Amino acid sequence: SQTIHQWPATLVQPVGSPLSLECTVEGTSNPNLYWYRQAAGRGLQLLFYSVGIGQISSEVPQNLSASRPQDRQFILSSKKLLLSDSGFYLCAWSTGTREKLFFGSGTQLSVL
Amino acid sequence: GESVGLHLPTLSVQEGDNSIINCAYSNSASDYFIWYKQESGKGPQFIIDIRSNMDKRQGQRVTVLLNKTVKHLSLQIAATQPGDSAVYFCAENSGGSNYKLTFGKGTLLTVNP
């Protein structure tokens, strides 16, 4: 069966520090991979998606970047965090377009 | 712009009752819809999905109804249990090569014992 791993579960970082969140998927090949952000009490906002190694599409301009160095690995990064980067970050995967997403357990990021 | 929204932000029901969570969508090109359940501090969990060539789909204790005429989606939960307490999101995809799911803001379901 397929599983998705996302870590860390919680992270507290000072403003201006770098960020690296990692997500890996097991049990499937060539998944579509996604990074979402969820503000408290709000819906999910798509940040990035990837349909293959090295292929990254950005949905919104922001202080973040994403990379996919391996087929089942998706990384969310920032060189300098802003207060507004705080939120709940979710990695997800799907088998293709117009298919259901399976989400990781999320990372609660607090930028202070 | 196009969006998916929810009629009710909160819903409180008694244990054993049936729950109905509603969702309106505005993109007439949307052809795939999903309901997710999210418990506090966790990632969303897939519940059930439906494509636009159907108007009803049933799962275990859940039913999704799609009314394309009025662009309305609902999730019915039978015999609601305390473990059903969570935020429920609807999401839609507008089809084609669109990889993006658009999520509604969510409805908080509280089940009272």
Residue A59 pLDDT level (bands cut at 50, 70, 90): confident
Please give the residue of chain A at the shortest CA–CA distance from B32: A98
Q: With contact defined as beta carbons under 8 Å apart, do A7 and A22 qualify? A: yes
Closest residue of chain A to B93, computed from CA coordinates: A98
Average pLDDT score, chain B: 89
Task: Note the pLDDT of residue B6.
Answer: 43
Distance from CA of A43 to the nearest CA of B (A): 4
Best residue in B47, B101, B108 for a mutation probing chain A (most A CBs within 10 Å): B101
- Please determine, for residue B111, whether its predicted confidence score (pLDDT) is greater than 60: yes
Q: What is the mean pLDDT of chain A?
A: 92
Q: Is the pLDDT of residue B110 over 90?
A: yes
Which of A51, A84, A53 is CA-nearest to residue A68? Answer: A53
